[in-house]
Structure 1
Amino acid sequence: MNISHIEHLGIAVDSLEESIKYYEDILGMKCYSVEEVADQKVKTAFFLVGNTKIELLESTSPDGPIGKFIAKRGQGIHHIAFAVDSANAALKLADERGVTLIDKKSRKGAEGLNIGFLHPKSTLGVLTELCSKQE
């Protein structure tokens, strides 16, 4: 698995509108994209910090992954995403190394990336996302 950099940190929030204000008005950052990923029941907002992105995640449904996360744990860091050459190849390698996968194959995520998640039970409690631009 060739990880080139941290692609983004995902942060679960109750409200994108309120959270964007905090990041822009208090921290002085600029939101460059807001997007809905319907099949994941989430709306996202992105900020660039150096070469790393912050992804804010607001649930569009209480039964979506972010809605469930916030109900159980509250707002906060949800996952770390690593950039890889191929999400599918990285998922396959992780599986071969005994990691429990959430996704056996990559799927489309925000910003058109191919994404796949590793289960936190196999990753020291940290939900880990593998992202690639192409497959």
Structure 2
Amino acid sequence: MLKKIHHVGIVVPDLEKAMSFWRDLLGLALVKSAVVLDQGVKAALLKAGESEIELLEPLVPENGVGKFLARRGGGLHHVCFQTEDVAGELSRARAKGIQLIDQQPRPGLAGMICFLHPKATHGVLVEYAQPLQE
């Protein structure tokens, strides 16, 4: 079951400059940041009430985030829903015929994640995340 909006992802050309707005000016607390090599991004999660903002800076121009930045100059990239069972949600989506990007969950900054294809979701990139227990 989808529990809540975990975060919204925002593509930025420069993570540090973006942090100066979201963290320093708005006062959102940094939850975690990392270089996610298999996704080709530098990323940061910032707490916004019960949800989070994920800032994504592409490390390479040819991945999805890099192409998004080149086409759109940054901005709102995806919406992520939190679940306690990302594999189950992915299976249910597959059974309903929803076009998927990921065929199985994979590690990401928000935990175990997977993406649904925007062609199936009326143009919105949708992510499911199962946060890791800390």
TM range (shorter): over 0.9
Once residues 28 and 109 of structure 2 are traced to their aligned partners in structure 1, the CA distance between those partners, rounded to angstroms, is 20
**Match for residue 70 of structure 2?**
71
- What amino acid maps onto 2:62 in structure 1? D
Q: Greater CA deviation, 64-73 or 48-57?
A: 64-73
Once residues 82 and 24 of structure 1 are traced to their aligned partners in structure 2, the CA distance between those partners, rounded to angstroms, is 22
Once residues 124 and 14 of structure 2 are traced to their aligned partners in structure 1, the CA distance between those partners, rounded to angstroms, is 23
- What amino acid maps onto 1:49 in structure 2? A
User: Do the aligned partners of 1:43 and 1:59 also contact (CA within 8 Å) in 2?
Assistant: yes
Partner of 2:76, secondary structure, is strand
Partner of 2:69, secondary structure, is helix
Superposition RMSD in Å: 1.2
User: Do the aligned partners of 2:12 and 2:75 also contact (CA within 8 Å) in 1?
Assistant: yes
Once residues 32 and 5 of structure 1 are traced to their aligned partners in structure 2, the CA distance between those partners, rounded to angstroms, is 18
User: Which digits, 9 at most, give the CA deviation of each residue in 1:53-90, with x for residues without a partner?
Assistant: 10000001111221111111221000000011211111
User: Do the aligned partners of 1:20 and 1:31 also contact (CA within 8 Å) in 2?
Assistant: no
Count of aligned pairs between the two proteins? 132
User: Do the aligned partners of 2:45 and 2:53 also contact (CA within 8 Å) in 1?
Assistant: yes
Q: Greater CA deviation, 10-19 or 87-96?
A: 87-96
Determine what percentage of the aligned residue pairs are the same residue: 39
**Match for residue 4 of structure 1?**
3
User: Which digits, 9 at most, give the CA deviation of each residue in 1:26-60, with x for residues without a partner?
Assistant: 22223232211100000101110111010000001
Once residues 26 and 16 of structure 2 are traced to their aligned partners in structure 1, the CA distance between those partners, rounded to angstroms, is 15
Give the alignment's TM-score, normalised by structure 1.
Answer: 0.92
Matched ranges for 1:11-90 at <5 A: 11-90=10-89
Give the alignment's TM-score, normalised by structure 2.
Answer: 0.93
Once residues 40 and 85 of structure 2 are traced to their aligned partners in structure 1, the CA distance between those partners, rounded to angstroms, is 24
User: Which digits, 9 at most, give the CA deviation of each residue in 1:65-121, with x for residues without a partner?
Assistant: 21111111221000000011211111111011111000010000014x110000001
Matched ranges for 1:96-135 at <5 A: 96-111=95-110, 113-133=111-131
